[in-house]
A and B are shown apart, each in its own frame.
Chain A
Amino acid sequence: MLEPDLLIIGGGITGQCAALVAADAGAMVTIVDMQRNAGSHANAGSLHVQMQSRFLRLNPHLADNLESSLPLYMSAVAEWQALDAALGGVELTQQGGLMLADTPAQLDFLHQKAAREQKKGLDVEILYRDTLHRLAPWLSPHVVGAELCRNEGKLNPLIANRKMREALTARGVRFVQDQITHITDGPRPIAHGAQNYPAGAVLIASSWGGGQLAQPLGLRIQTPPEPLHMNITEAGAYEIQHLVQHAERPITLKQFRSGQVVIGGGWQANLARDDSAAPAIKPDSLLGNVALAARIAPGIGGLRVLRTWAGYNTPVDGKTTVGAVRDGGRVFVGLPGDAGYTLGPVVGRMAANAVLSLPQAVDPEPYSPARWRA
């Protein structure tokens, strides 16, 4: 096998996007993936931008951190728009996201949040009852208002993943199935699995499998998997055009073009029973998540839940980590952190740019792995 310029560990959305950018820049790229529990295969395709209110309420002291990441989320959406065009359509829609309020107090909170977000350049607006219910007649009458964030949207990850794979194959990117156990650092680093993979550079884009590879190289980073629960219904008329969240309750709700309603929002699942199994569903997550969705959007109450599944999310510290493990080194990391499917493409691009010393559109400094160095 010819030694690639870039070896990417992890073939999720982050690794794939890094591969696409690097291949387009003329690099020879190989992706090694062990094909286990990719978040990119389990995720729901929400494009998040506005600040997650639950996070703000729980961690008011981290509000500034979150606020400072907002520009990254906007670049992430722009990156997805470009991908949508490049891949020939991934059902990306940008009708915006609604964050719902049931009480005047919740609406007040959304007002303040919207003001901060507006300052950062987000396209947000508070909608009152009548306007909101005209826009979303399937909503419960209990909802008194919402924040509409027009930057938000959704896409179909099944289609995106399939077309991405086709695009990479067309660009000569090689795919290898293997589990990398450790990396030898150096001017020509080597990733070790069942085979050895020497390369011009190595990118760790393996989410929950990333910490284990980065720690021996001097990063004190932990990447435990967070098993999350999802539900999907059978198809109904396509009426829910927005990405729907709530000011206080954990929920994301949206409809694919297929008419199926996808319900999630961070409800927990159990870790996989063993290596070959998928993470297992918890009954209280299934019942709680779906019942909450039906209270918010009673219009979905006539549909049946068709399937549930769980996957591994890797929030790390909630913030993106991207760049060289050590200054001037040839081993890099690309971990999107929270809302990783939204951020995957932009983080992949930043990682590829770092590897190839190309100019960065987004300042990578705040996301540098430096914060994990011993």
Chain B
Amino acid sequence: MSQITFTFDGQDITCDQTSSVAAALTQAGHRAFRKTEGDAPRGIFCGMGVCQDCLVTIDGRPNQRACMTPAAGGLQVQTQSARPALTKPQDRTLTPHRLTPRVLVIGGGAGGLNAAIAAAESGAETVLLDERKVSGGQYFKQDADPTRDPLDAQQRAGRDLVTAAYAAGVTLIQSAEVWGAFDGPEIMATSPEAVYAIRPERLIVATGAYERPATIPGWTLPGVMTVGAAQTLWRSYRTLPGRRVALFGNGPLVAQVAAELVSGGAEVVCLAEAAPAPWSRPVAALDMVRRDPALAVKGLGLLSKLARNGVRVSHDTLPEQIEQAGDVLRVTYRQNGTLKTVKADAVCLNFGFQPQNEILRLLGARMSYDAQFDQLRVDRSPDCETSVPQVYAIGDCCGLGGAPAAAVEGRIAGRAAASDEAQPTPADLSLRARHGKFQDALWRVYAADRPLPEDAPPETLICRCEEVSKATLDAALADDPLDIGALKRATRIGMGRCQGRYCAPVVAGIMARRQGRPLEDLSYFAPRIPIKPVEIAAITAAETLLDAEQTPDA
């Protein structure tokens, strides 16, 4: 593998040529990438382009996400200041494209790839947009270096799926991030070389999920990241988040990633699960095993591998606070009522998932609140169509269902979008139902009580982007804001770069409980364009496209 060299604040960084800027900096021991308005250091948090905390200046262009930007020889990377000077960046050529395919799929994970393949095989002209450089999504998480051997069967299966998509004739556009969804639907996306305005006849949204962390003091410190961010560093870039790693979370992903990091040479100093041990819930556990024995066996294998490496899951355990202690992070956590501490280079958090349903909400798709998972889920017909005609939704962006369920839904929606006559096959429908029952059983095993955000200490940052503390939130709540919009305007909670992805679920819940109202779509911040911050250069390039067309008024 050939190596490249770039500079970070003037210092040479050498890395694999397929590395991301974030992975290269992490490998070189850097944790802090930017400074906030309040002068706090920040670094990688989500690892998937959502949190906007990994910003750096690259060759004079401010606010580039290190986790989504490939490293390249000769780049000049600098720590991002909170307020870059207003200097005109170097001109870039972004080629504008107008596309009008029969089917547009957004997201190249298990759901999106299967949908695109099914649509293309049914004869529809199909375009798939994926913001990652290499498609596959979260489950198949591909290696950024295509020449490296896949880590395991899962990664190999993903590679095969991408190959199958090409073979089926899908137009696969990678590194293209969708930032706009307008009535029509009209979709806007940007890649490093091009901008796209796409008006498909049918739209399939397959944008997956992002992770729910723990809103506790210290959750914004560099080195604290989501479990998925650590997984991406390892699986896509063969980089460890740190040598000594502590993981806290809820659900099977946490132990799985712990095992992956161990095999990469990390020392897992703490593996904490919020739920009680499965053997304390034998009925639910047996039901889960019965519904998918193979997966259950895989899980047991994982745990025994961890045990061989001296890692044991600590159940009934929740993190309470993270502090910087010299070069390392110190986590205070509560295990079965007892306070303990552990020191680590990296602390990984995952307390469930949030559907990435921004596009669906923008288009006005009807949503229902799911109390078990504490999130909005889009309403769908049996063939995965939403309440907006010709807009389909599949996979984790409808609520976590796992990769196999996303794949079946993809096949169902892909065929339906390609042809109005297509009906879901009974086999697909029953497969989908089976996966659903397995997920139900799984999350009954992992059901865990979590402290309410109302009880968080006053210094806890509720909104990590705008650095708004629990104390400020409480002061604003004392004025009885009418709705979450009023609260947002009063406190700036939700006004930052992540568009409220981390604070919205927290404050929506707090508001609903205060007002004794059930949660609904309106309990959350109103969806806004852009879905993710978009460069002005991209807007300028896209404008030429609409200008040339003289779009008639909708």
Task: Tell me which residues across on chain A come within 8 A of B74, comparing CB atoms.
Answer: none
Check: A134 CB closer than 8 A to any chain B CB. no
**Could you tell me the distance between the alpha carbons of A236 and B60 in the complex, rounded to whole angstroms?**
14
**Could you tell me the distance between the alpha carbons of A162 and B530 in the complex, rounded to whole angstroms?**
26
**Could you tell me the distance between the alpha carbons of A53 and B180 in the complex, rounded to whole angstroms?**
32
Given A158-B489, A282-B554, A286-B180, A302–B61 Cβ distance below 8 Å? yes
- From B83, B180, B489, A41 is in contact (CB under 8 Å) with B489
Residues of chain B in range 399-439 having any CB-CB distance to chain A below 8 Å: none
Whether the Cβ atoms of A308 and B529 lie closer than 8 Å is yes
Given A162-B489, A290-B539, A294-B540, A236–B534 Cβ distance below 8 Å? no
Whether the Cβ atoms of B63 and A303 lie closer than 8 Å is yes
Which of A180-188, A273-281, A332-340, A357-365 binds B?
A273-281
**Could you tell me the distance between the alpha carbons of A322 and B460 in the complex, rounded to whole angstroms?**
48
| Chain B 133-169 near chain A by CB (<8 Å), digits 1 or 0 | 0000000000000000000000000000000000000
Check: B551 CB closer than 8 A to any chain A CB. yes
Check: B298 CB closer than 8 A to any chain A CB. no
Task: Tell me which residues across on chain B come within 8 A of A308, comparing CB atoms.
Answer: 528-530
**Could you tell me the distance between the alpha carbons of A284 and B526 in the complex, rounded to whole angstroms?**
21
Whether the Cβ atoms of B535 and A282 lie closer than 8 Å is no
Whether the Cβ atoms of B534 and A302 lie closer than 8 Å is no
Given A41-B489, A283-B546, A287-B546, A303–B536 Cβ distance below 8 Å? yes
Given A236-B86, A237-B86, A300-B86, A288–B554 Cβ distance below 8 Å? no
| Chain B 342-372 near chain A by CB (<8 Å), digits 1 or 0 | 0000000000000000000000100000000
Check: B37 CB closer than 8 A to any chain A CB. yes
Check: A238 CB closer than 8 A to any chain B CB. yes
Given A276-B522, A294-B539, A301-B537, A270–B530 Cβ distance below 8 Å? no
- From B62, B188, B496, B526, A302 is in contact (CB under 8 Å) with B62
Whether the Cβ atoms of A236 and B84 lie closer than 8 Å is yes
Instruction: Across the interface, name the chain A residue whose C-beta is closest to B485.
Output: A41
Residues of chain B in range 496-554 having any CB-CB distance to chain A below 8 Å: 496-497, 499, 522, 526, 528-530, 533-537, 539-540, 542-543, 546-547, 551, 554
**Could you tell me the distance between the alpha carbons of A352 and B96 in the complex, rounded to whole angstroms?**
54
- From A238, A240, A298, A306, B83 is in contact (CB under 8 Å) with A238
Given A276-B522, A305-B530, A287–B543 Cβ distance below 8 Å? yes
Check: A220 CB closer than 8 A to any chain B CB. no
Whether the Cβ atoms of A304 and B533 lie closer than 8 Å is yes
- From A277, A297, A302, B84 is in contact (CB under 8 Å) with A302
| Chain B 463-500 near chain A by CB (<8 Å), digits 1 or 0 | 00000000000000001001101000110100111010
Given A234-B497, A290-B536, A299–B87 Cβ distance below 8 Å? yes
- From B83, B197, B530, B547, A236 is in contact (CB under 8 Å) with B83
Task: Tell me which residues across on chain B come within 8 A of A239, comparing CB atoms.
Answer: 85-86
Residue among B83, B490, B522 with most chain A CB within 10 A = B83
Given A235-B83, A290-B539, A291-B540, A284–B551 Cβ distance below 8 Å? yes
Check: A259 CB closer than 8 A to any chain B CB. yes
Check: B308 CB closer than 8 A to any chain A CB. no
Task: Tell me which residues across on chain B come within 8 A of A367, comparing CB atoms.
Answer: none
| Chain A 209-250 near chain B by CB (<8 Å), digits 1 or 0 | 000000000000000000000000111111110000000000
**Could you tell me the distance between the alpha carbons of A51 and B62 in the complex, rounded to whole angstroms?**
37
Check: B379 CB closer than 8 A to any chain A CB. no
| Chain B 437-460 near chain A by CB (<8 Å), digits 1 or 0 | 000000000000000000000000
Task: Tell me which residues across on chain A come within 8 A of B497, comparing CB atoms.
Answer: 234, 306
Task: Tell me which residues across on chain A come within 8 A of B529, comparing CB atoms.
Answer: 281, 286, 307-308
- From B87, B183, B485, B551, A280 is in contact (CB under 8 Å) with B183
Task: Tell me which residues across on chain A come within 8 A of B543, comparing CB atoms.
Answer: 287-288, 290-291
Instruction: Across the interface, name the chain B residue whose C-beta is closest to A291.
Output: B543
| Chain B 76-97 near chain A by CB (<8 Å), digits 1 or 0 | 0000001111111100000000
Check: B316 CB closer than 8 A to any chain A CB. no
**Could you tell me the distance between the alpha carbons of A236 and B89 in the complex, rounded to whole angstroms?**
13
* Min CB gap A148→B, angstroms: 20
**Could you tell me the distance between the alpha carbons of A237 and B82 in the complex, rounded to whole angstroms?**
8
Task: Tell me which residues across on chain B come within 8 A of A299, comparing CB atoms.
Answer: 86-88
Task: Tell me which residues across on chain A come within 8 A of B495, comparing CB atoms.
Answer: 307
Check: B182 CB closer than 8 A to any chain A CB. yes
Task: Tell me which residues across on chain A come within 8 A of B536, comparing CB atoms.
Answer: 233, 290-291, 293-294, 300-305
Check: A131 CB closer than 8 A to any chain B CB. no
**Could you tell me the distance between the alpha carbons of A46 and B87 in the complex, rounded to whole angstroms?**
24
Check: A52 CB closer than 8 A to any chain B CB. no
A-B contact count (CB 8 A): 134
Whether the Cβ atoms of B489 and A305 lie closer than 8 Å is no
- From A138, A258, A270, B554 is in contact (CB under 8 Å) with A270
Whether the Cβ atoms of B530 and A235 lie closer than 8 Å is no
Task: Tell me which residues across on chain A come within 8 A of B535, comparing CB atoms.
Answer: 304-305
Task: Tell me which residues across on chain B come within 8 A of A303, comparing CB atoms.
Answer: 62-63, 84, 86, 536
* Min CB gap B485→A, angstroms: 8
Instruction: Across the interface, name the chain B residue whose C-beta is closest to A303.
Output: B536
- From B530, B546, B554, A307 is in contact (CB under 8 Å) with B530
Whether the Cβ atoms of B86 and A138 lie closer than 8 Å is yes
Task: Tell me which residues across on chain A come within 8 A of B89, comparing CB atoms.
Answer: 301-302
Whether the Cβ atoms of B526 and A278 lie closer than 8 Å is yes
**Could you tell me the distance between the alpha carbons of A158 and B180 in the complex, rounded to whole angstroms?**
25
Residues of chain A in range 120-143 having any CB-CB distance to chain B below 8 Å: 138
Whether the Cβ atoms of B88 and A301 lie closer than 8 Å is yes
* Min CB gap A281→B, angstroms: 5
| Chain B 7-46 near chain A by CB (<8 Å), digits 1 or 0 | 0000000000000000000000000000001000000000
Whether the Cβ atoms of B554 and A162 lie closer than 8 Å is no
* Min CB gap B131→A, angstroms: 15
- From B85, B180, B483, B528, A283 is in contact (CB under 8 Å) with B180
Check: B121 CB closer than 8 A to any chain A CB. no
Check: A118 CB closer than 8 A to any chain B CB. no
Whether the Cβ atoms of B482 and A35 lie closer than 8 Å is yes
Task: Tell me which residues across on chain A come within 8 A of B182, comparing CB atoms.
Answer: 280-283
**Could you tell me the distance between the alpha carbons of A282 and B88 in the complex, rounded to whole angstroms?**
27
Task: Tell me which residues across on chain A come within 8 A of B540, comparing CB atoms.
Answer: 290-291, 294-295, 301
**Could you tell me the distance between the alpha carbons of A364 and B554 in the complex, rounded to whole angstroms?**
41
Whether the Cβ atoms of A307 and B482 lie closer than 8 Å is no
Check: B260 CB closer than 8 A to any chain A CB. no
Whether the Cβ atoms of A305 and B534 lie closer than 8 Å is yes
**Could you tell me the distance between the alpha carbons of A325 and B533 in the complex, rounded to whole angstroms?**
47
Check: B186 CB closer than 8 A to any chain A CB. yes
Whether the Cβ atoms of A235 and B82 lie closer than 8 Å is yes
* Min CB gap A269→B, angstroms: 11
Task: Tell me which residues across on chain A come within 8 A of B188, comparing CB atoms.
Answer: 283
Whether the Cβ atoms of B528 and A302 lie closer than 8 Å is no
**Could you tell me the distance between the alpha carbons of A284 and B522 in the complex, rounded to whole angstroms?**
27
* Min CB gap A334→B, angstroms: 23
Check: A177 CB closer than 8 A to any chain B CB. yes
| Chain A 304-331 near chain B by CB (<8 Å), digits 1 or 0 | 1111110000000000000000000000
Whether the Cβ atoms of A305 and B86 lie closer than 8 Å is no
* Min CB gap A169→B, angstroms: 8
Instruction: Across the interface, name the chain B residue whose C-beta is closest to A258.
Output: B37
A-to-B contact residues, CB < 8 Å:
35, 41, 138, 158, 161-162, 165-166, 169, 177, 233-240, 258-259, 270, 273, 276-278, 280-284, 286-288, 290-291, 293-295, 297-309
Nearest 9 pairs of A and B residues by beta carbon: A299-B86, A304-B533, A291-B543, A287-B543, A298-B88, A302-B89, A291-B540, A290-B539, A138-B86
Selected A-B contacts with CB under 8 Å, 8 pairs: A35-B482, A162-B489, A236-B62, A283-B197, A283-B551, A301-B89, A304-B536, A305-B535
With A290-B536, A294-B539 already in contact, 8 other A-B pairs whose C-beta atoms are closer than 8 Å: A237-B83, A270-B183, A282-B554, A283-B182, A283-B186, A284-B551, A290-B539, A307-B530
B-to-A contact residues, CB < 8 Å:
37, 60-63, 82-89, 180, 182-183, 186, 188, 197, 364, 479, 482-483, 485, 489-490, 492, 495-497, 499, 522, 526, 528-530, 533-537, 539-540, 542-543, 546-547, 551, 554
